[in-house]
Amino acid sequence: MGRQKRKLEHLKLALELSDGVYPSGFSDIFPVHMSAPELNYSDVDTSCLYMGKRLAAPLMINAITGGHPETAWINRELAAAAGQAGIAMAVGSQKAALNDYSVRETFSVAREVNSDGLLLANLGACCTPGEALSAVEMIAADGLQLHLNVPQEIIMPEGDRNFKGVLANISTIINTVSVPVIVKEVGFGMSRETVLALHAAGVRNIDVGGRGGTDFVAIELSRTNKKCFDMEGWGIPTAVSLLEGLSLGLEIDFVASGGLRSSLDMARALAAGAAMTAMAGPFLKSLVEGGAGELEKSIRYLIQGLRKIMLLTGSANIRELSRKPIVITGPTAEWLERRGVSINSYARRSHTEV
């Protein structure tokens, strides 16, 4: 029951605590406004193809919960809303359901109410290949998220302390399951070095999960009423993580998550080159505080907002948006320059380059 209890504590604290004090970095990215876009609003298409399924927009409800009887309704409503809106969804870590069959329904309900949607299973990257297969089967998943959360684990009194061999394990799982594998950080970001190592292990889908959104170090410290000032603000901002990864020019589809809070943040990430955007905290709060109707409204507003920004950049579709000019400034530009990542080419893209 310890894992189940922790699930509820995480949910409670995620709702109570604000985002981390350090920004995601997306406020340093400016899509270039086009006063004469030569498009009608009706011409703009936000849809995309991801993992073989057509979505209404490149947006995912990222991993939130499951594993306790009191969380089943949350995954039910999240999955129903995702199906209705035509966006993707990932369930929370399914480890609890592998240990306790009685809570499997808190995850499988997502597929029951969203039979045709894009659903991702979720486990820690140290899981066994057999566990990975079971997690995928549990929700008839279209893909599998393997999450990396070393800072969170070492803060948890009951957390893991051994991480050697994780890359080889990820490689084995990729060769075992029949669905695409996404390796995901949970709020601490990824460096170029990490992306290179994951690519060498066979990873072709990465969720950078950067700093700027839900702070799991703060959540774990709140759970145990402890302080750990030496880890305050640890991690790489989401925008930096995304741009570092993209700078490598590898055949990797990047998901931008971690502190995205608006349609403009989505547009910034997609214009930089992300294949998908994802949020968790905003959707959880919309559902818990306003019910299913508010959740559906928040998703609709995000997609409508993205469509408006695409019009303002002269982008008829997501592919065109990814090739439009953006200007990168502030701490994000400074970080990337110090790391040897060229950013000037982003600003010099041609408006007509599609």
Tokens of 257: 């998550």
Over pLDDT 70: what percentage of the chain?
A: 89
pLDDT attached to residue 153: 83
Q: What is the mean pLDDT of residues 66-79?
A: 94
pLDDT digits (tens, 9 = 90+) for 137-166: 999 999 999 999 888 888 877 778 888 999
Beta strand 48-50 with 53-55: parallel, antiparallel or unpaired?
antiparallel
pLDDT digits (tens, 9 = 90+) for 271-298: 999 999 999 999 999 999 999 999 999 9
Q: What angle do CA 11, 71, 83 make, to 5 degrees?
A: 105
Dmax (CA) for the chain in angstroms is: 60
Predicted TM-score of the model (pTM): 0.92
Instruction: Name the 3-class secondary structure at 138.
Output: helix
pLDDT attached to residue 191: 97
Write the CB contacts of 156 (distance below 8 Å, at least 6 apart in sequence). 220, 223
Instruction: Name the 3-class secondary structure at 9.
Output: helix
Is 67 a residue whose pLDDT tops 50? Answer: yes
Contact assessment for residue 24 and residue 87, using Cβ atoms and an 8 Å cutoff:
no
Q: Mean pLDDT for the chain?
A: 92
Give the position of tokens 């959707």: 283
Contact assessment for residue 296 and residue 81, using Cβ atoms and an 8 Å cutoff:
yes
Contact assessment for residue 187 and residue 171, using Cβ atoms and an 8 Å cutoff:
no
pLDDT digits (tens, 9 = 90+) for 74-115: 999 999 999 999 999 999 999 999 999 999 999 999 999 999
Q: How far apart are CA 123 and CA 67, in angstroms?
A: 12
Residue 354's pLDDT band (boundaries 50, 70, 90)?
very low
